[in-house]
Structure 1
Amino acid sequence: MKVAIVMGSKSDYPVVERAEKILEQFGVAFETRIISAHRTPRVAEHFASHAEEKDIEVMIAAAGKAAHLGGVMAAFTALPVIGLPIKSSTMDGLDSLLSIVQMPKGIPVATVAIDGAENAALLAVQILSVKYPKLREAMKQYKKKMEDDVMKLDEQFQSENK
């Protein structure tokens, strides 16, 4: 199992790095690349077109501003693509979000929140879990731990505020 994380610019990496940490936590292999939809369109086409040959099963495309990277990737592959809009200096990332989420019919790109790297990685894990039952069990444990952590916080809060 392998996830490709493509980002339009090196400046996207501080956000992308958070997705890498989640994938590492689940033991999912990944490859992170800088590929621009606008400055390296032939590279983007080649990467997406040959992703399956590299055993990639899901892609995360992180981009800011015009944010066409996810759509370009999705145009050249049948693999699931998750768009990760990056907050930019323009419109606080709303431009990125709208560029990714407004895909034409036939070119779907699942989209997470602006700078939502953790959810992009978790969605990739959930997609992979359809094929890999170990990941599904790990995701169940992850969600159970979240529940337990909130319950502990609630108990603490209750005892501190009585």
Structure 2
Amino acid sequence: MGVSGRPAAVGILMGSDSDLPVMEAAFGVLREFGVPFEAAVLSAHRTPERASAYAASARGRGVRVIIAGAGWAAHLAGVLAAKTTLPVIGVPIDSSPLQGMDALLSTVQMPPGIPVATMAVGKGGARNAALFAVQILALSDPELAGKLSEYKAAMAEEVLRKNQNLDAAIRTSFLDES
């Protein structure tokens, strides 16, 4: 069961509990859209059998998209993608001395036949991973597609509001200087 008590449509895995502050951004987006999810800490290096078993059993549990956040060598998304036909979205975590560049390259450089959709490093990437998962799910869910359209329209309205505020501030500042 997902954290909402309903079967999870999205599985979110982290290579370490230290990745949680970044991956919480994905939780927030999925909650905003009402998408049930489950989350776990599984490591491609320290618990490879469990990570593989998770991916192999995800479809049977109703999971339709997997998001994998990992830092350092960041092999989690690739291990999961090798064991499932579900879409896997990788989120490189900026936890290493290389500030996530190693995780980005490990996540994006998958061998042919093992695709992983790779997002930006860090919280922005986690947020976009969840939005991308929502877009995938919305392909077969008209209600979710509607929520996504409303979300994008609200983002556009917010930008236009900020533009109006900037315009007003510039006009006020210019008039004050005359």
Per the alignment, residue 66 of structure 1 pairs with 73
Which has the greater radius of gyration?
2
Moved runs in structure 1, 4+ residues, more than 3 A?
Answer: none
Aligned ranges 1:48-59 → 2 under 5 Å? 48-59=55-66
Return the alpha-carbon distance in structure 2 between the equivalents of residues 150 and 127 of structure 1.
25
Kindly report which structure 2 residues correspond to 1:42-121, keeping only aligned pairs within 5 A, or say none.
Answer: 42-115=49-122, 116-121=125-130
Deviations 1:116-135 (A, max 9, x none): 11101000000111111111
Provide the TM-score with structure 2 as the length reference.
0.90
Q: Does 1:150 align with 2:137?
A: no
Aligned AA (1:70): A
Aligned-pair CA distance for 1:63: 0.2
The share of aligned pairs that are identical, in percent, is 51
Letter of the aligned partner of 1:151 in structure 2? L
State how 1:8-27 maps to structure 2 within 5 Å.
Answer: 8-27=15-34
- Name the Cα RMSD after superposition: 0.7
User: Residue 113 of structure 2: SS of its match in structure 1?
Assistant: coil
State the partner residue of 2:132. 123
CA distance in 1, matches of 2:96, 2:42: 20
Say if 2:12 and 2:67, in contact at 8 Å, map to a contact too: yes
Deviation of the 1:136 alpha carbon: 1.1
Of 24, 40, 44, the residue aligned with 2:47 is: 40
Alignment partners' CA distance in 2, 1:111 and 1:141: 25
Is the 2:71–2:96 Cα contact (8 Å) retained in structure 1?
A: no
Deviations 1:89-132 (A, max 9, x none): 32110000000000000000000000111101000000111111
| Whole-angstrom CA distance in 1 between matches of 2:158 and 2:106 | 35
**Counterpart Cα distance in 2 of 1:81 and 1:135:** 20
Letter in 2 for 1:11: S
* Residue ranges of structure 1 left out of the alignment (5+ in a row): none
Read off the aligned partner of 1:75 and give its amino acid letter: A
Partner of 2:3: none
Alignment TM-score, normalising by the size of structure 1: 0.98
